[in-house]
Amino acid sequence: MKKSMKKLLCVCAALAITLSAATAMAADVTGSWTAEVKAPDGSSFQLTFTFKQDGTALTGTVLGAGGDPMPISNGKVDGDKFTFDDSFNGVTIHHDCTVAGDSIKMTTKTDSPDFPGMELTLTRVKSVPAAPAAPAQPATPPQ
């Protein structure tokens, strides 16, 4: 009985170490990411992707030139790769992504001939530290 209990504890410990290592290797894409997109007419605009990762689930929004954030759906994370969909003007856009540090390589595709797929490189938006607060002015005594 003692041997089988020791064996069970060893297996549980090995499993816990393996799962910890796999979790440590997974990228966390939570935050804001931007990309500059060139339109067919030569103009360009910025896209901002805001992701919230919870384990292997991914939610968030895409903000484009239109000004209204579009929710993402079907978000799934698997290690350094993740996928999600969004919808623009009734067209569903599928995104395949690979993250490496503060950069994401993204490939998009649709079933619409009016909206060709593209490849983008997203860059993580760094948090800007808050400016120190101005010192408080001493209260002026009443006169």
pLDDT at 29 over 70: yes
Mean per-residue pLDDT for 41-69? 93
pLDDT at 6 over 60: no
What's the confidence (pLDDT) of residue 117? 87
Residue predicted with more confidence, 141 or 11 = 141
Candidates 59, 62, 52; CA nearest to 87 is: 62
> Quick one: tokens of 13?
């410990």
93 found inside a domain:
yes
Q: Which domain holds residue 58?
A: 23-124
Report which residue type is found at 85. D
- Phi then psi for residue 132, to 5 deg, are -65, 145
Q: pLDDT band for position 142 (50/70/90)?
A: low
97 found inside a domain:
yes
Report the CATH number at residue 76: 2.40.128.120
48 found inside a domain:
yes
What's the confidence (pLDDT) of residue 128? 67
The number of domains in the chain is 1
pLDDT at 34 over 80: yes
